Structure 1
Amino acid sequence: MMFTLQVGYPVRDYAAWKQAFDKDPAGRAASGARSIRVFRDTDDENNVAVHLDFDTKDAAAAFLERLRAQVWNNPEIMEPLMAAPPTARLMEQVASENPAAG
Structure 2
Amino acid sequence: MFTLQISYPVREYEAFKKVFDTDPAGRAASGARSVRLYRDTEEQNSVAVLLDFDTNDAAAAFLEKLRTQVWDNPEVIGQLMTAAPTARILEEVAREGQGAG
Whole-angstrom CA distance in 2 between matches of 1:93 and 1:54: 11
Moved over 4 A (4+): none
**SS of 2:28's equivalent?**
coil
1:56 is matched with 55
2:79 is matched with 80
Task: Say what the alpha-carbon RMSD is for the aligned residues.
Answer: 1.4
Whole-angstrom CA distance in 2 between matches of 1:100 and 1:52: 17
**SS of 2:11's equivalent?**
coil
Within-5 A mapping of 1:36-55: 36-55=35-54
TM-score normalised by the chain length of structure 2: 0.95
TM-score normalised by the chain length of structure 1: 0.94
1:7 is matched with 6
The structure-2 alpha-carbon separation of the partners of 1:81 and 1:93, relative to structure 1 and needing over 3 Å to count, comes to same
CA contact (8 A) 1:6 1:51 kept: yes
CA contact (8 A) 1:71 1:78 kept: no
Whole-angstrom CA distance in 2 between matches of 1:55 and 1:21: 22
The total of aligned residue pairs comes to: 100
Identity %: 67
